[in-house]
Structure 1
């Protein structure tokens, strides 16, 4: 029975970590086309940093951010463009974000499956005790 609780606890840390990762990626993807004037900082993408726990789980150790410099993009028709026609865009690689999104989704789904398996194990153990 202790193993089922252990699986639930570890899977729960995985669920929380993957949810944080998914939220971060969602914000990055939603802001991939956010532009600002060159006098402002670019949108800074978030990168979740994970740390292993001594008990087998995982914690979110922090969140790192991309450079506020971003990249300069020529958009002369934008009302935010400077005298040379440039705006500041985030330095986000959409292909990388989408790849990470797939990994985060699969990790989340794996944690959900472990949770379901642990619950089934726990319920089976309870039903054995009821059969007396």
Structure 2
């Protein structure tokens, strides 16, 4: 595997991890977004990754969580219905935070791989001088 292959693969990994980080940040920011019970709850985003046949990884798509969410009794909320219920997204904050750490570590590994490939390429150029 050449330095350019490493750069391409690490670049695709950085792109996928950045998309994953963006989706997780959006989910975490909206974990407490309330809606009326007759409306859909905020739908979290789940990144679907797929292997690139030439090496690396691609974002195959973004799946949305169920809009059904969960109904919570909160009569003090301005969006509460006659029974005092609101609809919240069915997003587990602990799971999102765990995935956030994994996505950050993956992104960091991709950055380090890119730096190593650049150093390898620069060393090869120095040999030719």
Cα deviation digits, residues 99-129 of structure 1 (max 9, x gap):
0000000000000000000000000011111
Instruction: Output the CA distance in 1 between the equivalents of 2:38 and 2:64.
Output: 19
Give the TM-score taking structure 2 as reference length.
0.98
| Partner residue, 2:118 | 119
Instruction: Output the CA distance in 2 between the equivalents of 1:99 and 1:77.
Output: 31
Give the TM-score taking structure 1 as reference length.
0.96
Aligned-residue offset at 1:55: 1.2
Aligned-residue offset at 1:39: 1.2
**3-state secondary structure, aligned to 2:37:** coil
Structure 2: gaps of 5 or more residues: none
Aligned-residue offset at 1:96: 0.3
| Partner residue, 1:68 | 67
| Partner residue, 1:45 | 44
**3-state secondary structure, aligned to 1:13:** helix
Instruction: Output the CA distance in 1 between the equivalents of 2:32 and 2:23.
Output: 16
Cα deviation digits, residues 65-118 of structure 1 (max 9, x gap):
111110001110111000110000000000100000000000000000000000
Structure 1: gaps of 5 or more residues: none
| Partner residue, 1:17 | 16
**3-state secondary structure, aligned to 2:49:** strand
Measured on the aligned residues, the alpha-carbon RMSD in Å equals 0.7
| Partner residue, 1:83 | 82
Instruction: Output the CA distance in 1 between the equivalents of 2:41 and 2:53.
Output: 38
